[in-house]
Structure 1
Amino acid sequence: MSTYRERMEAYAHHAALLASQDNTPTLCQAARWIKEADKIVVGGAAGLSAAGGMDYMSHETLEQVFPQLSKKRYDHFWKALWDPERTQEQKWAMLAAEALWARFDYPVISAYTHLLRILQNKDYFVLTSNIDGQFIKAGFDPQRVFEPQGSIALLQCSRPCCDMLWDGEPFYRQIARDIDPVSFSCPTEDIPHCPHCGAPLVQNLRGPDCFIPRETMKNRQPFEDFMKEAEHSSTLFLELGVGFNSPGLIRHYFQRLTWLWPNARLIRFNRDYPSTPKKLGERALPVGGDLKENLLKLDRFCQEEL
């Protein structure tokens, strides 16, 4: 059995090989598969947004968008957000900066726009681990987007004393106005608290025991109903930018169902980890290289196929 390091090296080698080749034939085949599919299950993760510049792991992004944090010698924004030595005031300053950048102020990423055109007139459902709201911003049907990880746009009681959810934007705007540029912290009085019990508010994200799933899970039943129909249809799993941060939600789920459903196919777009399981054979299509450029080309090929 290969070690984790060996598997990662194999992924990197395969990704480099695919990126070095002309993938026009592969994208043409992907366009045909999309045309032939009765149902399409879209899986979108961080790599899809990163293709449009929303890259938490990029030092260049940190320098351009959060220069104060770059001066504190963080390598990238993700490292800053998980710094165990942050004070509560620094934590909320970073959370506010992230939410305003990623959820509220970031423009629609072209990769999502091309994806929406690719899926026009198709029966689709989106499963995403992203919390940036780009699918909705780009014009995807809100009733066909399932975001089980939660939303940084909403705040909830950390206790929780109730199931209330609050719009986080006003709190984030106030915090951003008051951030100290040197310490990158906000005043203690800016930290939001529950108006009912006084406990600190937290973002409505899956993970903590206090998580309130009401808003996040509203599309769970429609998604499950769609998947029941998809099991007996010609179904395409279209996976975009899904790595190994939380592979169980989309990556492993999609390849397992492709294996179990005889009429299913899988297309995996991934710059770093495009490999698909050998047991899926010709029912899986790995696509490496730049995701933004690949979706641009795929959009064009799909329009030609119409």
Structure 2
Amino acid sequence: MNPIDQQLIQRAKSAIGEAEYIVIGGGAGLSAAAGIEYSGVRFTRNFQPFIEKYGLTDMYSSGFYPFKTQEERWAYWARHISLNRYEAASTKLYTDLHQWVQNHNYFVITTNVDSQFEKAGFPQHQIFEIQGNYGYLQCAAGCHDKLYNNEALVKAMVQHTVDCRIPSELVPKCPVCGGEMNPHLRIDQYFVQDGKWYERNASYNEFLRAAECKKTVYLELGVGYNTPGIIRYPFEKLTYRNEHATLIRFNRHNPEGMEGNEDKTISFTGDMQEVITSLLN
């Protein structure tokens, strides 16, 4: 690493070391940097039959593909969920991140739905998965607010997929209204916010309030402009309002920050794993 990078490393170490509160925001770029990529070789290696049959190009856009039947739709989603939630072990980037902050007072908000924070050792009660979690199903019409663990069903779907279809008897139906089910992802206005969601939302907001005028680090990891109003913009505003705050941003393509925060922002544009490793040394 060059000297200027080392200066940034030391500034980040000092900020974390002195912080009374650390607010961690994890975006899609964090999981991508950890190796959970939705395109490229990882996609083509795991979805070849779906690519050949439907012309799919990546896991993100494939989630919006208009499958003609529920049997086809769930064959795809079962493979998607299995790969990213159940087959993916805890990654080194997430475990290193946990090691970096584990002895500090922190809370996590993430738009990621792959449970990597939990797998790395972050306590569940300190993680707010605002956009959902691959491990659950919900009523597609949001007729009630209960979520359903899908592990056994997803594994059965994958096991019994033939020609990109699952057996009709495995297609999930809402136990209340009898309608279709969805993965628990914020894809429309029917996203279910259950009791646990509201508890974590309240805990997160309470943590933000407690950190307002304290030595606080807003640690933004791989957050782009897909949903900037959840992490990126709030972190910038909170940093701007708190004279004791530091924003540490990991973003290869959009490292620039809000005007007025220049002296409070530490931006890393290099390989996230390499930077976190340097921060641990």
The answer as to 2:213 corresponding to 1:236 is no
TM-score by length of 1: 0.85
Identity of aligned residues (%): 34
What is the letter of the counterpart of residue 187 of structure 1? P
Whole-angstrom distance in 1 between the partners of 2:270 and 2:259: 20
Shift of 1:169: 1.2
Instruction: Choose from 184, 200, 203 the match for 2:180.
Output: 200
The residue correspondences of 1:295-306 to structure 2 (distance < 5 A) are 295-300=276-281
Shift of 1:185: 2.6
Match of 1:167 in 2: 149
> 1:268-299 CA distances to partner (integer Å, 9 max, x unpaired)?
00122222234212101110011122111112
5+ residue gaps, structure 2: none
The answer on whether the counterparts of 1:114 and 1:295 sit within 8 Å (CA) in structure 2 is: yes
Instruction: Choose from 51, 64, 79 the match for 2:61.
Output: 79
5+ residue gaps, structure 1: 1-18, 301-306
Match of 2:189 in 1: 209
The answer on whether the counterparts of 1:45 and 1:130 sit within 8 Å (CA) in structure 2 is: yes
The answer on whether the counterparts of 2:145 and 2:193 sit within 8 Å (CA) in structure 1 is: no
Match of 1:120 in 2: 102
Whole-angstrom distance in 2 between the partners of 1:86 and 1:293: 44
Whole-angstrom distance in 2 between the partners of 1:293 and 1:227: 29
The residue correspondences of 1:1-306 to structure 2 (distance < 5 A) are 23-56=5-38, 58-72=39-53, 73-84=55-66, 87-181=69-163, 184-214=164-194, 215-300=196-281
What is the letter of the counterpart of residue 124 of structure 2? P
Whole-angstrom distance in 1 between the partners of 2:77 and 2:3: 40
Whole-angstrom distance in 1 between the partners of 2:68 and 2:261: 45
After superposing the two structures, state which structure 1 stretch, 129-138 or 76-85, moved more. Answer: 76-85
What is the letter of the counterpart of residue 210 of structure 1? Y
Shift of 1:206: 2.8
Q: 3-state SS of the aligned residue for 1:279?
A: coil
Q: 3-state SS of the aligned residue for 1:23?
A: helix
Shift of 1:213: 0.9
TM-score by length of 2: 0.92
Whole-angstrom distance in 1 between the partners of 2:187 and 2:9: 37
Change (3 A) 1:86 1:53: farther
